[in-house]
Structure 1
């Protein structure tokens, strides 16, 4: 996948549906140990998932241009801009809002997150998203149809999560699965 411009820090495997779909298609040949490592980076809480038309690169470039126009791209001015709330919102060309936070990775001090309740954004549980990604990969990897047994197999083997008895296609886990099918 494409490297994002510095100083942007963005985790598209957690926050960008288009990236996640591409990752699921391209990760079929990865060893299960590596898949587990990638999926662990998603965490275990709730997160906001961007579903809009802009790529991670386009998002990054728009934020860079927005901050450049205000002389806020360098670390010190950007850090001052974040006080007192520790974040600022930025609206992009598609109407989506993004929370800009301080990034702790060297050379990437602008950390992007989709804003809650923003256009093109869904709130999802991390374990639902990880399960949906694992199922999308497993169906391709094993040439299988999505099913509850396959879902529970990858939850146990790849994610160390307990099995589920069922799910509703329009809610929670079912909604996450439908996003990646």
Structure 2
């Protein structure tokens, strides 16, 4: 998935298709390095039908992106929200990486997206990689993954896992 050079986009945090690609090649050994990139905050994951390439095309068609100065003048020190062809909403900010002046991520609670806390996403990805044929791992499996691979505290019971199941279902479908 080639990201245009001027766009700052963390696909592991924000694009279901990319996350699924990473899951397909990850192993329990490579998980800690992969999941470290997720940090500890909340994020919105786009699960719509737009491929990353199409997403970037549609974004670039709506904004002045030829130069950093044109883009930053358009932002006028704020952020902008745009709507793409599938009605998903995206936020554009000033990028903080040299050359990547367009920072892009799904809008909070946008159509075609799901708001997720990083520990839940990490747990979901790790459960899918470690137990690919199990849609609802049991409490022992979940806690073993959380403690040994993710260095996260255990959950007390499966009732606490409802959001985890939703995220796993979204990633598996």
Instruction: Output the TM-score relative to the length of structure 1.
Output: 0.85
Q: Output the CA distance in 2 between the equivalents of 1:144 and 1:121.
A: 24
1:169–1:175 Cα contact (<8 Å) kept: no
RMSD over equivalenced CA pairs, Å:
2.1
Matched, 1:41 2:32: no
Matched, 1:175 2:166: yes
SS at match of 1:101: strand
Matched, 1:112 2:104: yes
SS at match of 1:122: strand
Deviation at 1:161, TM superposition (A): 0.2
Q: Which position in structure 2 is the counterpart of 1:51?
A: 47
Deviation at 1:147, TM superposition (A): 2.7
Q: Which position in structure 2 is the counterpart of 1:97?
A: 89
1:99–1:112 Cα contact (<8 Å) kept: yes
Structure 1: 4+ residue segments shifted above 4 A: none
Structure 1 pair 27–118 and aligned structure 2 pair: CA distance change class (3 A): same
Matched, 1:149 2:140: yes
Structure 1 pair 144–95 and aligned structure 2 pair: CA distance change class (3 A): closer
How many corresponding residue pairs?
A: 171
Q: Which position in structure 2 is the counterpart of 1:133?
A: 125
Gaps of 5+ in 1: none
Deviation at 1:159, TM superposition (A): 1.3
